[in-house]
């Protein structure tokens, strides 16, 4: 009887240690997506094809810098984030979220840092991200 209780307790402890944390793991990122201006906003360039799979080596918080690591990950245009669609600079700038050349959390800033360090990088020119409309 005591052996059965001990085995049950050990099994319960193992379940708690290995299974429960995975239930609260970060949500799985979509493999591919398109980044575009939010509905109701006028785009001046073509939408950008983005691959989460190509960025899997990064910590999610490298880009989603306001994410607490627990809840759902929100996009840049979410309320309270980069919701200024007219400004080119500033913390609230939607444009700046992707194009701030000196920011570690913007696409362009990260890619330029990698290029300077002579490491493999993504695009750093306008038409490399925004394909020309035909």
Cα–Cα distances in Å, from 100 out to 4, 22, 89, 113? 61, 35, 7, 12
What are the structural domains of the chain? 28-129 (3.90.10.10)
Q: Give the tens place of pLDDT for each residue, 73-112.
A: 888 888 888 999 999 999 999 999 999 999 988 999 999 9
CA 28/CA 124 separation, integer angstroms: 27
Of all residues in the chain, the percent with pLDDT exceeding 90 is 47
CA geometry: angle at 46 spanning 44 and 47, to 5°? 115
φ and ψ at residue 60, rounded to 5 degrees: -55, -35
């Amino acid at each position: 009887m005591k052996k059965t209780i001990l085995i049950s307790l050990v099994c319960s402890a193992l379940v708690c240690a290995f299974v429960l944390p995975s239930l609260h793991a970060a949500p799985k990122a979509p493999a591919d997506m398109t980044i575009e201006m939010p509905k109701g906003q006028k785009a001046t360039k073509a939408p950008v094809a983005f691959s989460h799979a190509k960025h899997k080596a990064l910590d999610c918080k490298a880009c989603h810098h306001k994410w607490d690591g627990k809840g759902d990950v929100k996009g840049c245009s979410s309320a309270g984030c980069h919701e200024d669609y007219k400004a080119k600079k500033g913390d609230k700038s939607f444009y700046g979220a992707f194009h701030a050349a000196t920011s570690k959390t913007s696409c362009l800033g990260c890619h330029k840092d990698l290029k300077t360090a002579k490491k493999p990088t993504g695009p750093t020119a306008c038409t490399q991200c925004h394909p020309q409309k035909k």
